[in-house]
Amino acid sequence: MEYSPRYRLFPSTEQRESLDWTRNIVRQLYNHALHEFNQIPEDDGTLRQRVWQIRDTLPQLKQQWTGLKQVYSTVLQKAVERIRTNINNLGKLKSKGYNVGSLNWKAPREYRSFTYRQSGFELDKKSGPRNRAILRLKKVRGETLEIPIRLHRDLPEHDAIKEVTVKKEHTGAWYASFCISTEEPEKPEVKGIDAEDTVGLDLGVLNFIHDSDGRSIGRLDLSDERERLEREQRSLSRKHYESNNWEKQRRRVAEVHARMSNKKHDYKHKLAHFYATEYDVVFVEDLNVKSMLESDGNARNKAEVGWSEFRAILEHHCDKHGTHYVEVNPRGTTKECASCGVETTKRLWVREHSCPSCGFELDRDWNAALNVELRGLEKLGVGHSKATPVETATAVDSFSVSARRVVEAGSSCLKEAAKAAE
């Protein structure tokens, strides 16, 4: 499997200028290669062959474009191959129902990274204080740069690093992403999985997650950051476009956006890491987020929660730690009783589940999480062994409707509705 941890770079002023110069040269090469690619007929080979046809002209292009000689060769090759990657990504979006167009030329503000492949970089972990190192990049404006880097997490040996992508964020900060290739750990066999080592996750809006073990995890509070973002954006709207004051204020807005994004990413990664390391199987709802965002009501909260992003992060952590990740059909998980299977229609403001058939009462989201787990166990083929406490109602006389509640040990695999008394 492959993953790309990101680390902060601390280049000097001169190094920033060299990095920006290299980034701009790579951007111009990408635009030139895209122009040449559009001139090649589609029937003249496959997508890969047409891109390689342009890549093979780089040695001749260096004779005319002297600036390319000051950039490492694999960086230039990767810039040309980026056309193929972008076209494939557009194809994936189109297959999911999105309206996509064609590739366009990149403006300086839109093209913000360049990539070293296999060689051209070196990470010196022995230089600098604790949690600091030196990243050496060859042929950046014709010279080798030694840039300080902060290692907030461990990195494997150089042989496991396939690529290094150097990127400039909208805030002006530089980062290095290391593409690491490792062997994917083996996942436990399905036959040997105990139902006690599985968990079902119900993704909500009021609460971020409610799992089948009763944990209710609230949403991340970003109200202060949102208020500051509104103030900074109002100030940006009053600046003259592309003036020096406008550029300074734009960076302030970008810093607020980056802070909010970092908090949300950190929150989701920590939750995903917990569930991936705590359980052998994680069941989650296969939500159609696109249609949910297009529906009326509460669209801002739905978009801010980021269900699709969290599921992608959770799947990544499950693959990384050898945990099964299973998506189940979410239809009816809120209405269906986790004890007897009877469906009960509930308004959105009703936060408690109370089954009229078996008397099972539980928090609405907890009941949905139990149903997610039950469907996942059935889909995976794992035997049900978890016991669900069931609260039943029994009559105390023949003429009144009074009843007494009795807590009994029920089974979560019971899915037949109770028959009405004749």
Residues 297-343: tens digit of each pLDDT = 555 666 666 778 888 999 999 999 999 999 988 888 888 888 887 77
Shared-domain flag, residues 220 and 164: no
Q: What's the pLDDT at 103?
A: 92
Shared-domain flag, residues 144 and 200: no
Assess if residue 408 is contained within a domain: no
Assess if residue 395 is contained within a domain: no
d(CA 166, CA 58): 22
Q: Is the pLDDT of residue 385 over 60?
A: no
d(CA 341, CA 388): 13
d(CA 334, CA 203): 11
Q: What is the pLDDT of residues 45-56, one digit of tens each?
A: 899 999 999 999
Domain boundary among 181, 213, 239: 181
**What residues make up the domain containing 220?**
190-328
Q: Which helix (H) or strand (E) holds 167?
A: strand 161-168
Give me Rg for the CA atoms of the chain.
Answer: 28
Q: Where on the phi/psi map is residue 144: left (φ > 0), alpha (ψ -120 to 50), or beta?
A: beta
Q: What's the pLDDT at 292?
A: 58
d(CA 295, CA 399): 48
Assess if residue 389 is contained within a domain: no
Q: Please state the rounded mean pLDDT for residues 52-67.
A: 94
Assess if residue 406 is contained within a domain: no
Shared-domain flag, residues 49 and 157: yes
Shared-domain flag, residues 218 and 139: no
Q: Is the pLDDT of residue 393 over 60?
A: no
Shared-domain flag, residues 29 and 169: yes
Shared-domain flag, residues 172 and 201: no
* Cα dihedral 382, 384, 388, 393 sign: positive
d(CA 16, CA 10): 9
115 close to 95: Cβ distance less than 8 angstroms:
no
Assess if residue 204 is contained within a domain: yes
Confidence of residue 244 (pLDDT cuts 50, 70, 90): very high
The residue type at 253:
V
d(CA 416, CA 422): 17
Q: What's the pLDDT at 389?
A: 43
Assess if residue 334 is contained within a domain: no
| Beta-strand pair 216-218/207-211 | antiparallel
Domain boundary among 130, 146, 181: 181
Assess if residue 387 is contained within a domain: no
Assess if residue 398 is contained within a domain: no
Confidence of residue 408 (pLDDT cuts 50, 70, 90): very low
Q: What is the pLDDT of residues 220-235, one digit of tens each?
A: 888 899 999 999 999 9
Shared-domain flag, residues 163 and 284: no
Phi, psi (5° rounding) for residue 355? -80, 125
Lowest model confidence (mean pLDDT) among 10-19, 96-105, 170-179: 96-105
